[in-house]
Chains A and B, each alone.
Chain A
Amino acid sequence: MTEIKHGDIVLQARGITKRYPGLVANDHIDFEIRAGEIHAILGENGAGKTTLMSILFGLTRPDEGEIFVFGKKVNFRSPLDAIDLGIGMVHQTRKLISAHSVLENILLGHPRAGAILDLKKTAEEVKALCDVYGYKIDLNTKVWHLSEGEKQMVEILKALYRGAKILIMDEPTSALAPPETKKLLETIQLMTKNELAIVPFITHKLPIVLSVSQRVTVLRRGKIVARLNTADATEQSLAMEMVGREVIFNLERPDVKIGKPVLQVENVSAYDDKEYWATRNISFEVREGEIFGIAGVSGNGQQPLAEVLAGLRKASTGRVLFRGKDVTNLSSLERWKRGIGYIPSEQRAVGSIGEFSLVENLLMSYYYDDLFVKWGMIDAKKVRQLTQELIEEYGVATPSPDVKARNLSGGNLQKMILARVFSRKPRLIIANLPTQGLDVGAMEFVQNKLLEEKKAGAGILLISEDLDEVMALSDRIAPMYEGEFMDILPGGSAQRETVGALMAGHKEKAVGA
C-alpha cells in the first residue's frame, strides 16, 4: 500500500443500490471518503443508513453499484474482506464478547494471531496504541465489567490494531454520557491527524456533527439528498434535509393537579442478573397526575429498578408501597390486579408474544380476570371484541385482530401494548423506554397517550434515555447514574446541562453549573 496523503480518496461508492421486498433501501448512492477527514452520514431511522453501512463493511451485498477502496474496485464477500482492506467498524450495539478479556476480544479473528497465542506481545503492541490516544484500560478485564465508553474504546482499539485506515462508526455517541462523548470527539480528531478517515453515521445529535465533521452527506428514503461542507450547514438546514419538512417538536403539557402519592419507594436496592449491585438505596415517590422521569444512559440500573417495582425482581433491601400498602413481597400478577401497569422496554421479547395473535396478546392482561374467564374457560368472543375496540381506539394498523403480533411494525406493536396496559386502568404506570426505536409519528402518539393517562390521574414513572423526552414530559426528574439517583429536580425549571452532567455522574460540576 502506498503512503496515504491527506485528502486522498480512500473509499468511493458508485451507484450503490439495494432493494428489499417492498422498498429500495439504497437508491444509487454515490460518495467518496477522504483520508484525514471526518465525513458524517446523516439520516433518520429508515433512511437507509444501516443498509449502506452493512454494504461498506461487507455484511450485505449491494444489488448494483461499485465500491473502490484506495482506488481499487472491491467485491466484499464478508466483513473479513473489508477488514483486510483497512476498513474498521465501530458498532452501535457493541460487537464484543462479554465473557472474554479485552485482549482476547482485540485478538479474536486477527489474521496474524499465531496458532498458539502470544498474549504478551499483543498486550505490548496494544498498550503502545493506547498511549497514542491516551486510553487507559486494563487489558485483562472481562468486557462485561466495562462501561459503554470503555467498550467503545475497545472496539476502536480492535479496529486500529487490525490496521484500519477507514473507521465507520454507527451512532458513535448514542450510548455515551456527555464527558465520554467529549473524550471520543477528541480521539477521532487526533485520528484524522494520522490520516485516518472517519465516517460516523448519525441520526440525531446534530450539534456534534457540526462541531467535528468536515463534510456531511444526508440520506433520505434511501437517496442522497444533500452533500455539504459542514462550514456551510446549520442545525436547521440539516434537520430540514433529513426530514424533508420543518420539524416542530411541541407537546401540550396539560395542567394537572398533583394528588396523593401512588408509589412510595424506600431505600430499595437490588442485584442484577450477574449478582452485582444494580440499584442502591433508591427512595422517591410518584403522585397521582404526576410524571416522574428517570433520565440516564441505559445500564445504570433503570431496568432492575423497573423490574423491582413491577415485581419481576426481588428487592434486596427497602420497601415499595403502592397507594399506601406495602407491596414489596407481592407477585407481579398481584400488582397488576391492584392497578400497576408496566410497559417493558423489550416490546418483542417481553411485552408481547410474537407467535400469539393480537387477541391472545391482549389476554396477557386479562387471563386472570373473572369477567373474561369463567370456570377456567376463556370467553374468546368477549376478548376478541375488546381487542377489536382497542385496535380502533388506538389506531393500530392491522387487517384483523387475529394477526400475529410478530407481523406488526414496532410502532403498531407498541400501540397495542399501551392499549393492553392502559385498558386495565392502572393507577401507576411504569413506562420503560416507551418510545425507543419508534418513528416520529408513533413517538408522538405514545407521549400524548402518557399525558392523557396523567390527565386521568394516574401516576407515571417514565424511564428514558432521551433527555429531550424526559425534559418535555416530566414534572420531576431524577438523573440516574450507576444505580443511584444523583438528585431529584423539578421538571419545569431544571437546566438541560445540569441534568446531562448529573446523569453522567458529575455531581460537583452540576452544582457549579
Chain B
Amino acid sequence: MNIKDKLTVSAAPHVHDKSTVKNVMWNVVIALVPALIFATYYWGIRALLLSLTGAVTAVVCEALIQKLRKVPITVHDGSAFLTGLLLAFNIHAGAPIWLPIIGAAFAITIGKQVFGGLGNNPVNPAIVGRVFLMASWPTHMTGGWVAVKNSALSGLNDLTRIATDLQSLSPKAYELVTSATPLKVAQTLRDSSFVADINAQAGGLNLSGRIFSSLTEMETLKSLFWGNIGGCIGEVSAFALLLGAAYLLYKNIIEWRIPLFFIGTVFVLSFIFGGIPGSEISIMLPFFHIFSGGLMLGAFFMATDYTTTPLTKKGRIIFGIGCGLLTIIIRLVGGYPEGVSYSILFMNVMTPLIDMLTRPKAFGRVKK
C-alpha cells in the first residue's frame, strides 16, 4: 500500500465546525428578508426595487474594483450584497433610483475597498454610504416620505385620530404630524418656539403635550412595532427586524452584548431624559424610543458588524453603551431627529482603542 503521496499533512486541529464567511454573510441577508417583505407590503414593489438596486450595485462595484486591484473576486461571499442591501435600507421608498446606486458605490469603494476590502475597513461601509448621501442630498434622504400604502397618511398615520381636529386647531401642528417621522415629531416638540407657536395657534391649549402623549399611546407603539409608519425601508417594522435578529442570535452569528446594551441604554436614558416640558412622562416613552427610527436595524444589523466592532466581550459592552448614549444625545439635544448611524460610526472609530483597553487577562493571570 503506497499512500505516502496521498496523505494530507497539516497542522492541528484536523476538524472544523464548517462555518464559512459565505455562510455568515448570506445568513445575515436571510435575516433581513422579513424586513424586506414588510417594507414591500407597506410601500410597494418600489421598496424591493431600491433594495435590490443597492445590493446589485455593491456587488458589481466590488467585482470591478477587485478586478482593478488584481485580487481574487470574492463577491460570492455575500458581504458586498449585504452592504448594498443595508445601505438601501437607510433610504426611503420614495427616493430616486440613483440614490442607492451612488450610495452603494460609495460604500463599497470608499467605505471598504480603499482599505483593502473585507475585514480591513475601519468603519461600517453601509453607514459610510448613508452619511455620504445625507451630506450630499439631504432633501432626497429626509424629505418626501412615501405614503404608507395601506393607510391614509404618511408619517404618524395613527395620529389621524387627532389630525382632523388638528387641522382646524393649528395648521402648523397638522403639517408636522402628517409629514414627518415619529422621531422628527418628537424632536420638533422639543423646540420651544415651535411649541409656543402651535399652542398659541390653538388658543392656549396644551397642544404640544397632547401630540407628545399620543406618541406613546398603544396605537402608535403598535404601528411602530408592526411597521405601519413612515421611514426608511429598513426602519419599517421592529417586529420584522426582531424576527431576523432572533434568527441570527439562534444561529450564533451575532452576539447579544452589543444589541442588548445599545437598546438597553436607549431604553433607560429615554425614560429618564425623554420627556418634554408640559407633558407627563409616560412609562411607555422608552418603548417609543426603541421601536422608532433605525434603532432595531442599527443595533442588530449594523452595530454587530464584525470588522468594525470590538473583539473583546467587555469591549462590546462599552461599544453598546456608547452607541446608546450617543443615540440618545443626538435624538434629544442634537440637530438630527435620529442618531443611530452617527453613533455607530463614532463608536466604530473608537473600536481599536476599546480593544486595546479591554484586552482580556489570560486564565490564571492575576490583575496587576
Question: Are A and B physically bound partners?
Answer: no
Residues of B within 8 A of A (CB): none
Listed in ascending order, the chain A residues whose CB lies under 8 Å from chain B are: none
